[in-house]
Amino acid sequence: MALADTIPKRVMVLDTTLRDGEQSPGIALSSDDKVRIAQALDDLGVDVIEAGFPAASPGEQEAVHRVASTVSHARVCGLARCNKKDIDALLDCGLDYVHTFIATSDIHLKYKLKMDREEVKAKAIDSIEYAKAHGLTVEFSCEDATRTDLAFLKEMHLAVQGAGVDKINVPDTVGTISPPAMEYLIKELMTVTKVPIAVHCHDDFGLAVANSIAAVRQGARQVHVTVNGLGERAGNAALEETVLSLMAFYGIETSIDTRKIGPTSKLVSRLTGYPIPANKAIIGNNAFAHESGIHVHGVLGDPSTYEAFGPELVGVKRNIVIGKHTGTHSVKEKLNEYGVDITDDQVVQVVDKVKKLADSGKDVDDAELVALAYHIIGQQEAKNVRLKEFAVFTGINTTPTAVVSVEVNGKKKTGTSIGIGPVDAAINAIKVVMGNDISLEEYRLSAITGGSDSLCEVTVRVARNGGKKMMSIGKAVGSDIVNTSVDATMEALDRLYCHKKEL
């Protein structure tokens, strides 16, 4: 059969961030977190959400139940071993879709299950019949399929189809298969499998996405993925990489709204506490960052010179980074973003200074670049916006409330606001004073030293939306997070209000 005949036009996406993803060492999601992630996955457009393993604990059962009753578009499934107890726990969550599994490789049979092949087969059949009798959609996995004897694996596929299974998943449990071997395996399994085949790949050799695509090339119609590639050990095939690769290389459709990938990825990273590596494909901070003068010049001419696709496709932003390899184009573009008027000669001086700083090992962030530019322009960072008074009330069982007085171009204004924390309350109060066309675009907090008395550094990026959007940045260092956040915000506002373009 020609290759093109085996490639499906559309592939279903089963997201297992809430199950395999949660099995990543150190991740334990609360029921609220699971619900928030499930809502984001539903919005993103995944076909199936594997919400968890209901038999694992009463808390897990409650979380899966809540996910099932929250999600409105995706189907929700749960994991169950091949036994009635696990399937009953899943039924108690109100689910109508089970992903049930049993190991089939000789290694697992001998050292883990201590069962023979016939026993394993019988257990799988019994469980599938039980689940079907309870009205469930059943997806079945031979765990460690890629290390299972092929003749036995085919025998299992035939047996579970006889028991009424709806879909069969092929897990590469230990991430040990290669793309050509995966193509061979799926091609062989397609000869005996009449229900849709799914694939579930782990990333132990960094091949999870390539192996998933190899399976699809031979007719797999569903991919198991996780956001940010979370999952046991080295993780699972990353949703963002798999979906974009299927689209880009084979024109395969999925139901994913790719523009929501960036925000979903950030949400998952925040709630799981797993940072996204800067150089992670598609959603890492560097995926659309350009530093070298040559690249920035190219990208400013046309982004396709150094980008495989535009960041807007996946809901993230392009970033021009200032550093050792920076050229004048980058600096001018960046300063323009912040409304700084600068001549070509002055830009050359800024670049020269940036390179000297970089050579001595110092990074220059946006706030420092703006400060440097003002210094070179010789423009006094005029105090158009001054903080006169500030107080915040917070505590336990108290809604954080802030009062701020600010002098803007000589006129004093006072405002108050509440927030979810003291920093939020303070920034909200500043926004009240300054008029609500001020928006906080970015807030970054880092500790400079360790310990509870450590210094913190806060960087804020604010924008003014009236007419043309104007950006500004401010940075402050201090020992109190709330006061330092206020200082950084005031610096950003002061710069925003002294933009020449604005006056």
Binding site residues, Zn ion, CB under 5 A? 20
Among residues 24 and 489, whose Cβ is nearest to ligand KIV? 24
Residue carrying the six token digits 């959007």: 469
409 beta partners: none
| Choice from 104, 173, 242, 459 touching ligand KIV (CB under 6 A) | 173
For 419, phi and psi rounded to 5 degrees?
-160, 175
The tally of CA atoms less than 13 A away on the side-chain side of residue 194 is 7
Nearer to ligand KIV, 200 or 332 (CB): 200
**DSSP letter (8 states) at residue 164:** T
Closest CA to 194 of 155, 167, 222: 167
Among residues 170 and 287, whose Cβ is nearest to ligand KIV?
170
Using CB distances below 5 to 8 A depending on partner kind, what does residue 139 bind out of ligand KIV, Zn ion, none? none
CB of 341 to Zn ion, least distance (A): 55
Tell me if 200 contacts ligand KIV by CB under 6 A.
Answer: yes
Could you say which of ligand KIV, Zn ion, none residue 146 binds, taking C-beta under 5 to 8 angstroms by partner kind? none
127: number of Cβ within 10 Å = 25
Sheet strand arrangement including 456-464: 438-447, 456-464, 470-478
Residues 6+ apart with CB under 8 A from 119: none
> Residues binding ligand KIV: what is the number (CB under 6 A)?
9
Query: Based on CB atoms, which residue is closest to ligand KIV, 161 or 384?
Result: 161
Helix (H) or strand (E) holding 347: helix 344-359
**What does 143 bind: Zn ion, ligand KIV, none (CB cut-off 5 to 8 Å by kind)?**
ligand KIV
Tokens of 38: 């499930």
Q: Residue 141's binding partner, choosing from ligand KIV, Zn ion, none, with beta-carbon cut-off 5 to 8 A by kind?
A: ligand KIV
Q: Which of 143, 203, 241, 487 binds ligand KIV (CB under 6 A)?
A: 143
CB 153 within 8 A of CB 142: yes
Considering only residues 84 to 103 of the shown chain, the ones binding ligand KIV according to CB under 6 A are: 101
Residues between 280 and 299 with contacts to ligand KIV, criterion CB under 6 A: none
Tell me which of ligand KIV, Zn ion, none is bound by residue 474, counting a contact when its beta carbon lies within the kind-specific cut-off of 5 to 8 angstroms.
none
Question: Of 79, 95, 82, which is closest to residue 20 (Cα–Cα)?
Answer: 79
346 residue type, one letter: Q
Site for ligand KIV in 96-135 (CB under 6 A): 101
Do the beta carbons of residue 427 and residue 400 sit within 8 Å? no
- Of 161, 146, 155, 145, nearest to 195 (Cα)? 161
Q: 202 vs 280, which CB is nearer to ligand KIV? A: 202
Q: Which of 104, 141, 483, 489 binds ligand KIV (CB under 6 A)?
A: 141
Instruction: Rank residues 34 and 295 by Cβ distance to ligand KIV and give the closer one.
Output: 34
Which residue number, 101 or 390, has a Cβ lying nearer to ligand KIV? 101
Residue list 6-25, contact with ligand KIV (CB under 6 A): 20
For residue 21, the minimal CB distance to ligand KIV (Å) is 10
Residue with Cβ nearer Zn ion (136 or 170): 170
Cβ 175 to ligand KIV, closest distance in Å?
A: 9
Question: Which is closer to Zn ion, CB of 20 or CB of 241?
Answer: 20
Q: Which does 97 bind (CB under 5 to 8 A by kind): ligand KIV, Zn ion, none?
A: none
**Residue 101 touches which of Zn ion, ligand KIV, none (Cβ within 5-8 Å per kind):** ligand KIV
171 binds ligand KIV (CB under 6 A): yes
What minimum distance in Å lies between the beta carbon of 99 and Zn ion? 10
**Nearest approach, Cβ of residue 82 and ligand KIV (Å):** 11
For residue 149, give both structure tokens: 């004897």
* Residues near 381 by beta carbon (within 8 Å), at least 6 away in sequence: 371, 374, 494, 495, 498
Q: Which of 296, 381, 384, 293 is nearest to 340 (CA)?
A: 381
Instruction: Show the site string, 24-63: x = touches ligand KIV by CB under 6 A, - = not.
Output: ----------------------------------------
C-alpha span between 115 and 104 (Å, rounded): 10
In angstroms, the CA 312 to CA 459 distance is 24
Q: Give the contacts of 180 (CB within 8 A, at least 6 positions apart).
A: 214
CA nearest to 92, candidates 61, 50, 115, 116:
61
Please report, as ranges, the residues that interact with ligand KIV according to CB under 6 A. Answer: 20, 79, 101, 141, 143, 171, 173, 200, 202
